[in-house]
Amino acid sequence: MANITFSEASGVNESIYGKSQAPIRMIIERKAEAFEKKSITDVLFNSHKSNSWGEKYTSMTAMDGFQVTGENGAAPSDGMEEGYSKIISDVIWRDRFSISRKIAEDSKAIDLKKRPEAFIKAYYRVREMLGAAMIGNAIQGNSSVEFRGGKFDLTGADGQTLFYASHPSKVKGGTQCNLWSDAFSDDALGMMETKMQNIHGDNGELLGVAPDTIVIPNIHSLKKAVFAAIGADKEPTTANNGFNYQFGRWNIIVWNYLNQYIASGTAPWLLFDSSYNEDYDTLIWQERVPLDVQSFVDMNTRANVWDGYARFGAGFHDWRGIAVGGVAGATDLD
């Protein structure tokens, strides 16, 4: 069931609009369920419940680990410290639609259905567009994005943009990259996967990053290249059709909303570790107040108003769970 709350002002059910309350509510719930099943934002972003105006996300660095000591030797002192942190705030979102008394009196069933459908589509479309706008603008190297009257931060906890050539480590270790120039190919896929598998944590430790998902905009040439690289268990470019180790290892997400927020003529592609994201919060979606819909009669217009209110936010924390290729001017994989 969709996570939507409903409330009605006193007397609405006894008014001319009474018969429309239950059907409109049912339409809103059904459309919400349908959109939730299709949402890419819900797949990519790790969802958290917020209990305040915002939430802080952080991590702890790894310990150095055990060392050899002599007999009855003292144990070395070990410890950990807080890694980079990030605060993500919750944003208020509002919208409403109305049913005129004339429509209700004339029992215009089509209008009674279209308006709540459009209302809930707009709500879930905005959520999807926000996720795509944030990732698309991060691919372009932007540190923030203006969206529907709000400004959203695109930097991670380390203070750099999500995709960056030299992410710093908090304690020790050199800078690391998750921003690459190579267009998608079988070789580029293997090289970027290897780069991500070799990523270190803030104390220089190997993390075991294991990307499992390829995310691309809805571009024909890119779809063709991706499915050609992973879609067969034999390597078609070799004379003896050697084994294709990429076969059956990837989840593929074609995200048409992303097309709106990437530079024209470009074909970026993303590798994403869904398990790392779940454990360490690469992409964060923060729910403060679920969609709250109130029905009441506006005594000035005599219309039945359905008013929507929600609070949620989104942001980036640990960059290590995602990388991008196909960005002009970025670092070459090889």
The better pLDDT of the pair 304, 78 is held by 304
Residue spans of the domains in the chain: they are 4-55+88-325
Q: In terms of pTM, does the model score above 0.85?
A: yes
pLDDT at 160: 97
pLDDT at 235: 66
The C-alpha atoms of residue 255 and residue 270 are separated, in whole angstroms, by 11
pLDDT at 1: 40
Residue with tokens 């209990």: 51
| Residue 62 reports pLDDT greater than 80 | no
Measuring CA to CA, how many Å separate 23 from each of 112, 167, 298? 9, 52, 20
Given pLDDT bands bounded at 50, 70 and 90, which one contains residue 25? confident
Measuring CA to CA, how many Å separate 314 from each of 44, 128, 187, 257, 281? 12, 11, 33, 17, 11
Q: Which of 12-26, 155-169, 304-318 has the lowest mean pLDDT?
A: 12-26
The better pLDDT of the pair 241, 292 is held by 292
| Residue 237 reports pLDDT greater than 70 | no
Given pLDDT bands bounded at 50, 70 and 90, which one contains residue 240? low
Mean pLDDT for the stretch of residues 231-251 = 71
pLDDT at 48: 95
DSSP 291-324: EEEEEEEETTTTEEEEEEEEEEEEEE--GGGEEE
Mean pLDDT for the stretch of residues 96-107 = 84
The C-alpha atoms of residue 187 and residue 334 are separated, in whole angstroms, by 10
Given pLDDT bands bounded at 50, 70 and 90, which one contains residue 122? very high
Round the average pLDDT of the chain to a whole number and report it. Answer: 89
The C-alpha atoms of residue 329 and residue 139 are separated, in whole angstroms, by 12
Q: Which of 68-77, 127-136, 185-194, 280-289 has the lowest mean pLDDT?
A: 68-77
